[in-house]
Amino acid sequence: MKKNILLGVTGSIAAYKAADIANTLTKEGHSIHVIMTKSGMEFITPLTFQTLTKNKVHTDMFGDYIPSEVEHISLAQKADIAVIAPATANFIAKAAAGIADDMLTTVILALKNKPVIVCPAMNTAMYENKVTQRNIHILKELGFQFVEPREAMLACGVVGRGALAETDLILQAVRNQIT
């Protein structure tokens, strides 16, 4: 069954893997609506996602104004599920605190009773930081699901936990929620 899936892409070197996630879910017949943060666009372009999904990529709260709809509310209402891959420590902190200062965090805050899957990707020290772990705990208590990062050689050259989970695991988590 075709689902409307929001894919949030934040500022991590792992952002390129989100293109594979978008492409696979699109080929499976789902409608993928990508929301990119400003820092996410530093790693991969919206054009990549527009080409793969055949949908507009949402990047700015105050971009194209459509008088007949409030875009962040409309996106949240149409969504069946949201996936944030990669999810930075910054996104996780904002979501845990209820901060809505960009399109992605605003849409996530506007979701009501819909699954949100968070896929962290960051440096090991950032991931293991007590503040990040507290924020993850808060989100889990609120019902957010996590696909935990894996241990690998990170972009900074350190081997540790913080690499984005394998795309197959992320895709399986999505499929488990939409079937």
Encode pLDDT of 149-164 as tens digits. Answer: 998 877 777 888 989 9
156 is catalytic: yes
Residues 54 and 69: their CA atoms lie apart, in Å, by 20
Q: Check 70, 156, 158, 159 and give the catalytic one.
A: 156
Q: Above 60 in pLDDT, residue 68?
A: no
Between 39 and 64, the more confident residue is: 39
Enclosing domain of residue 116: 4-178
Residues 11 and 23: their CA atoms lie apart, in Å, by 19
- Model confidence band, residue 120 (pLDDT cutoffs 50, 70, 90): very high
Six token digits for residue 85: 């891959």
% of the chain residues with pLDDT over 90: 82
Q: Report whether 160 contacts 151 (CB < 8 A).
A: yes
pLDDT in tens, 79-102: 999 999 999 999 999 999 999 999
Domain tally for the chain? 1
Beta-carbon neighbour count of residue 169 at 10 Å?
14
Long-range (24+ apart) CB contacts under 8 A made by 105-109 are 106/61, 106/72, 107/6, 107/8, 107/35, 107/58, 107/72, 107/75, 107/76, 107/79, 107/82, 108/8, 108/82, 108/84
pLDDT in tens, 97-107: 999 999 999 99
Q: Amino acid identity, residue 6?
A: L
pLDDT in tens, 7-30: 999 999 999 999 999 999 999 999
- Model confidence band, residue 173 (pLDDT cutoffs 50, 70, 90): very high
Q: What is the pLDDT of residue 56?
A: 94
How far out from the chain centre does Cα 151 lie?
A: 20
Q: What is the pLDDT of residue 67?
A: 56
Six token digits for residue 14: 């792992």
Q: What CATH number is attached to the domain comprising 161?
A: 3.40.50.1950
Q: Amino acid identity, residue 88?
A: T
Cα angle: 178, vertex 149, 82; to 5 degrees: 30
